[in-house]
Structure 1
């Protein structure tokens, strides 16, 4: 017998329900959990990184499953969570780790896990503990993405982010995709790859807010080079904002009679329904590069003093080294040392990214 949250007129009263056991409760961590934790520590040690398991944080207020420290002192706290955990617990433990200089990295095996998009996360296959211990490949099925920038035109294989249907706006779009959905398709990232790249800083966590909502967005791990390009595209030089706290639904008690009517077949989600799938593998909420028009409407040489001063401060170069990009017309470092003809975004598009 379980106590679940019901749904009644906008409130969530407590109700009793008899549900089948999803797993056998055990006083200690499962064999899957233990095997994954030991594999993370063994992989880090094999790469020459400092790693340990069951590391207490801040006077033992919490314990990290595996703590990996990189050459530059970057600390990654691996949290193996194969069973259900409330969203508020995920956020609280993640915030506690960040306060003490630890970057949380949650590992799930279920597409319905509540921790998905509540904190930096990845998802692996649900496999027997013996396969995990024996070193069977563990590709990341979710949570690790790559940035794709493309020109929106008739020859583009991707749909437009602005128009409905098969239209094309002629602009440039940027979005995050899983390795299998990239064009060209990228090699899948495995658990061992992330153990090394997260500790060395080659992979970093990013939070991308959803359009029109400050509470909905995507947490993901991405290559550091893609993160730098994304920050340049969105004109964000500081670390991207974290996801807002998402507390559990408030539990209330309503002194009302029990509704004994059968609700089978009615629309809506009920307490007996399974948890919704959170890892849908969809796009992470791309943007259109509005600050990079296809072509300047005026002559490139007509750069106002305000534009030149702002670009000089932003790019860190003398004003006389500024010039327009040959592709999009944006101001860039066009002359002098380390100069180029195209900006970094246009170069990636021209190179087939």
Structure 2
């Protein structure tokens, strides 16, 4: 049985859990479709010719599954599949471990002050919908759709992980896939996280549950003689700044709450020709965005300045423009770039720039938050 029916002739979904079937502008809709179906049955018209199909899991899987209607003595409305194998598609058993993960996600979210619910259906138009294992309602309308995958997952078709994750993201749900299988954690079709294979009673406990893969800390480093890593682009030191993701453990409950708060986010990180998908802190994500917009083709500094300043001077592209425009006479003056290569000019917590009020991680010589270009414009450097 299913609660969502697709009427092929009317071209609409019928939600049997609602009195108006989801169409308040069509009065007596249930009586019309039910009486019509009973009339077809009385005339021995085959089920496949009665205009009713499964509009839920079967339709999402690309299967045409015909249905008929019935109404219990207590008034309960039901849609029944014509074929038993279609019916079984809706009654796949849920393991105790899967259920324990769902309950833990809901509990962790609610402790953090967020609402969450299991097996949530989200409309995606007239003919589609998304069913999420556990949906967490986060900050500022953020929605995290948790999918717990402990069994075999399709790699192709409408029910594949890639397809389901893409559909969720398209309709405003951030997909979060969690597993206990190491081979799934290495896949790149979604932002996978993994915990160890544990029994249901351990997953359900209040104690720590550790995520052992899928969360990274980003290491930003300059490719010079002091670097600990090999240059990813050349056989020698190129002098540019590179990014290396490093595995880092995080507690599952913290991941649930901080992703809902927007403090942990999914990213796609390119490494050569490969794209890796994992979760990082929002601070690392912002630093990575700044790094991606760096101008690595800036002209070199004059020889005199290279000798006076420290090696590897910053060539970061400014992330904003100051609100004030210098006088016309100053616009024709040569500009000398400030050298903020020292780590003393970086703050891990973004703060409003003292000049333009836009967020920045940079600090000026007085330790005040300031974009480099703002400081240059303000001092006339």
Q: CA deviation at 1:176?
A: 1.6
State the SS of the aligned residue for 1:220.
Answer: strand
> Partner of 1:264 in structure 2?
none
Deviation string 1:119-155 (CA, Å, 9 cap, x unpaired) is 2221111111111012342222111111111233443
Structure 1 residues 317, 62: closer, same or farther in 2, change over 3 A?
A: same
| Number of equivalenced pairs | 242
CA RMSD of aligned residues (A): 3.6
Within a 5 Å distance, the mapping from 1:87-236 to structure 2 comes to 87-88=155-156, 89-113=160-184, 116-164=187-235, 168-179=237-248, 188-211=249-272, 213=273, 216-235=274-293
Residues 57, 97 of structure 1: 8 Å contact kept: no
Structure 1 residues 125, 345: closer, same or farther in 2, change over 3 A?
A: farther
State the SS of the aligned residue for 2:141.
Answer: coil
Q: CA deviation at 1:335?
A: 9.1
Deviation string 1:254-308 (CA, Å, 9 cap, x unpaired) is xxxxxxxxxxxxxxxxxxxxxxxxxxxxxxxxxxx83578x624677xxxxxxxx
Q: Distance in 2 between matches of 1:160 and 1:195?
A: 35
Structure 1 residues 228, 85: closer, same or farther in 2, change over 3 A?
A: same
- Higher Rg of the two aligned structures: 2
> Partner of 1:29 in structure 2?
94
Q: Distance in 2 between matches of 1:334 and 1:47?
A: 31
Q: Distance in 2 between matches of 1:232 and 1:222?
A: 15
User: Structure with the greater relative contact order (CA < 8 A, sep ≥ 6): 1 or 2?
Assistant: 1
Residues 44, 50 of structure 1: 8 Å contact kept: yes
Q: Distance in 2 between matches of 1:37 and 1:323?
A: 57
Task: Choose the corresponding residue for 1:296, options 301, 312, 320.
Answer: 301
Structure 1 residues 97, 47: closer, same or farther in 2, change over 3 A?
A: same
Residues 325, 334 of structure 1: 8 Å contact kept: no
Q: Which has the higher helix share?
A: 2
> Partner of 2:337 in structure 1?
324
Residues 79, 104 of structure 1: 8 Å contact kept: yes
Q: CA deviation at 1:219?
A: 0.8
TM-score, with structure 2 as normaliser:
0.55
Residues 221, 242 of structure 2: 8 Å contact kept: yes
Structure 1 residues 173, 119: closer, same or farther in 2, change over 3 A?
A: same
> Partner of 2:107 in structure 1?
42
Q: Distance in 1 between matches of 2:109 and 2:237?
A: 46
State the SS of the aligned residue for 1:72.
Answer: helix
> Partner of 1:56 in structure 2?
121
Q: CA deviation at 1:192?
A: 0.8
Residues 223, 231 of structure 2: 8 Å contact kept: yes
